[in-house]
Amino acid sequence: MKFFNLIIKYRLWLGIGLLALAIFTHWQTSFWPSFVLYLLAVVLIVGHFLFGPMRLIQGYMEDGDVEGAKKVVDSIWFPALLIKPVRSVYYTIKGNLDMVEQNFDSAEMNMKKSLALGGGSMTKQAEGPNKLQLGMLCMQKGDIKQAEAYIRQAIRAGLPDNENNAAAYLQLCSIMMNKREFRAAKEYFRKAKGFKPTTPQIVDQIKQIEKYITRMPG
C-alpha cells in the first residue's frame, strides 16, 4: 500500500522521467524499442491530471493531518482537468479544509461547486455530507430557512454514518426550538439520540439540550 501511495505521490515526475528516457531511446534506436516507455509515461502523466492524488488527501484527512492534506490539495494545479467524480471529491475536501480554518465563504463556494458537478457514484456519496455542511454554514450565517432546507435535503440524500445523522437531526431540533415547534423539536431530538453518537462535541450537545427539552410543551 505504501509503495502504491509513493507511485501516486511521484506519478507526474516518474512519467516525465520515463518520457525523457523514451525520447532518448527513440533517438538512439527506433520507435518500437521505446514504445513501452512512451506508454508508461503517458499513463502516469495523464493519470496524474485526470485522477490526481486524491487517495493521498483522503489518507491525511482520515489521520487528522490537516496540514498534510492541504499540501496535497495545493499540489493539484489544474482541478478542471480532473474527471467529474474526482473533481467533486476534490471540492468537497477543499470545503472541509476551509471549514477547519473557519473560512466559511470559501467553504460554501467549494461545497456548491462539488454539488453542481452532479453524476457519478462518488458524487452521490458526497451529496448528503455536502448538503449537511452547507446547512451548518447557513446556521453560522443566521439563514435558518436555507439551513433547514439543506439539512432536510442531506437526510433525504443519505448520510454515511451515525455521527452525521445525529448531527443533522440535532440541527433540525435546534431549528424547531427556535421556531417554537416543540413537538417536532422533541421528535428530532429523539431521532438524534437514537443514532447513539460517540463524537464528544455531539454527545455534549445532546446533554445540553436534554437539560431543558423535557420541560418544553408539546
Asked whether the beta carbons of 109 and 144 are under 8 A apart, the reply is no
Q: Domain for residue 143, yes or no?
A: yes
Residues 151 and 169 in one domain: no
122-169 confidence digits (pLDDT tens): 565 778 888 999 999 999 888 999 999 999 999 999 998 999 999 999
Query: Does residue 1 lie in a domain region?
Result: no
> Residue 167: its pLDDT value, please?
94
Q: What integer pLDDT is reported at residue 18 of this predicted model?
A: 95
pTM: predicted TM-score of the whole model, two decimal places: 0.78
CB atoms within 10 A of CB 62: 9
The CATH number of the domain where 99 resides is what? 1.25.40.10
Tally the domains of the chain. Answer: 2
Mean pLDDT score of the chain: 89
In a domain, 49, yes or no: no
Query: What distance in Å separates the CA atoms of residue 97 and residue 115, rounded to the nearest whole number?
Result: 17
**What is residue 27's predicted lDDT score, i.e. its pLDDT?**
96
**CA–CA separation, 72 and 64 (whole Å):** 14
Residue 159, SS3? coil
Residue 48, in any domain of the structure? no
Q: Are residues 107 and 173 in the same domain?
A: no
Exposed e or buried b for every residue in 89-99, given b needs 16+ CB within 10 A? bbbbbbbbbbb
d(CA 82, CA 143): 33
Residue 172: pLDDT band (50, 70, 90) is: very high
pLDDT of residue 211: 85
Distance of alpha carbon 8 from alpha carbon 39, whole angstroms: 17
What range does the domain containing 188 cover?
A: 165-218
**Torsion sign over Cα 154, 127, 93, 98:** negative
- Cell 457514484 -> residue: 121
* Residue spans of alpha helices (H) in 101-215: 104-117, 121-141, 144-157, 162-178, 182-194, 200-213
Q: Do 181 and 125 have their domain in common?
A: no
For 59-100, write each residue's pLDDT tens digit: 787 777 888 889 989 889 999 999 988 898 899 889 888 988
